[in-house]
Amino acid sequence: MVWPSLLVTLVGLLNIQRGSAYGVPNVPSHGGQPWGHIDFDSFVAFGDSYTDEQRLGYFISHNGSAPPPGTLLAASNSTSDGGYIWTRYVTFYASRPGHSVKLYNYAVSGAVCDNDLGSRFFASINGPFPDIKNYEMPAFYADVNFRYSNGTKALDIDPSSTVYAMWIGTNDLGTDEFLTDSQVPGKTLVDYLDCVYDMIDKIYANPINGRYLVLMNIAPLQLVPMYQLMNISGLDEGYQNATETHYRMWEQVALVNQAYEWRTMGEVMVKKRYPGMKIAVFDVNSLLTNIHDNPSQYLNGTAPANVTGYINHCNANGTDCMQQPSPDSYEWFDALHPSQQTDRIIAQEFLRVVEGKSNYAWYFS
């Protein structure tokens, strides 16, 4: 029977000591058995502009064409946060003399999990933004199976030393998708969640055999200037979202993040959907909320900490941009994206999640 084992699991998860990260109170109780030591040397990431390094840029500069199989994109310090993206900082912090961590980043700015649920046209590539299901995951598989002319594999990754990360949902829940009822008629947030777990199936399956996955939950989008209350954000760039939009976004985020926690537990520990796989749900939502509520603990620029404004101000066309001084004082780079300082904090906490030292993670296996 399922219910007795489920009850034991629930009791175990609820019997957790409350932690405190960075000395900040009100960190939520998280639990499960952390992973053992992982000396990982490969890091594979999927997602949207919160994670993209330069993949959408490749599409734009090549008339909408994707990178051919075996094309491994280099690091870039020109991303949505104004510098290096959080995944690149993970490799910086995890590498040491004699041990480097390679990043394979398939995230695409503008991506949703599945364009079949609703897609947005992007004129610069004359098509919809590439998604995880129909582009990112197939591109990863193509690279895994690709060999150069000398017989060398493009991606020679070992499941025992590879960590995967998936951070998706900012666009799925946003404007021109679920937030504005622009998804395909009849599709719901359940379909979005189904896509997420279907993509975990792809990471788990042969020939990938993924065994360590960090599933990152939805950021507190109601706090980003684009969706914040107008009297707080003070936006002057045409977004001007109504109070209803702010609270609807908040409700969507809260609902999906509850589902991430409990559905992951159900899929892994009750249904046994991924035997042998270890999944950590990284509560990046609580981390970013704590930055917002306790900025002096995290933001270290020369100006006073700022969690309602942002660094990069542009006109309605996205041009004539002007950046504010002291960028490390800001939680947000622009009206939607975290700052580089915030991404450094995310990267540091991500490594704590992998090491089993984070108060912002649930572990399931």
Q: Tell me: the pLDDT tens digits for 161-198?
A: 999 999 999 999 999 999 999 999 999 999 999 999 99
Q: Under a CB-based contact definition with an 8 Å cutoff, are residues 82 and 140 in contact?
A: no
* pLDDT score of 240: 52
- Residues of the chain with pLDDT > 90, as a percent, come to 82
Q: What is the DSSP string of 10-47?
A: HHHHHS-----BTTBS-PPP--S---------EEEEEE
The pTM of the full predicted model, rounded to 2 decimals, is 0.91
pLDDT confidence bin for 289, thresholds 50/70/90: very high
Tell me the mean pLDDT in the region 239-254.
Answer: 85
* pLDDT score of 20: 34
Q: Under a CB-based contact definition with an 8 Å cutoff, are residues 66 and 135 in contact?
A: yes
pLDDT confidence bin for 229, thresholds 50/70/90: confident
Tell me the mean pLDDT in the region 248-276.
Answer: 96
Q: Where are the beta strands (DSSP E) in 159-205?
A: 162-167
Q: How do the domains of the chain map onto residue ranges?
A: 39-220+256-297+341-357
Task: Phi first, then psi: give them for residue 246, nearest 5 degrees.
Answer: -55, -50
pLDDT confidence bin for 73, thresholds 50/70/90: very high
> In this model, does residue 9 exceed pLDDT 60?
no
Tell me the mean pLDDT in the region 47-63.
Answer: 98
Burial class of residue 291, CB neighbours in 10 A (0-12, 13-18, 19+)? buried
* Identity of the residue numbered 204: Y
> In this model, does residue 358 exceed pLDDT 80?
yes
Contacts of 299 (CB under 8 A, 6+ apart): 291, 305, 306, 307, 328, 329, 330, 331, 341
pLDDT confidence bin for 30, thresholds 50/70/90: low
Length in residues, the chain: 365
What residues form DSSP beta bridges with 330? 306
* pLDDT score of 167: 98
Fold type of domain 39-220+256-297+341-357: Rossmann fold (3.40.50)
Q: What is the mean pLDDT of the chain?
A: 90
SS3 121: strand
Tell me the mean pLDDT in the region 85-92.
Answer: 98
* pLDDT score of 18: 29
Q: What is the pLDDT of residues 130-141, one digit of tens each?
A: 999 999 999 999
- Residues of the chain with pLDDT > 70, as a percent, come to 89
Cα–Cα distance between 83 and 77 in angstroms, integer? Answer: 4
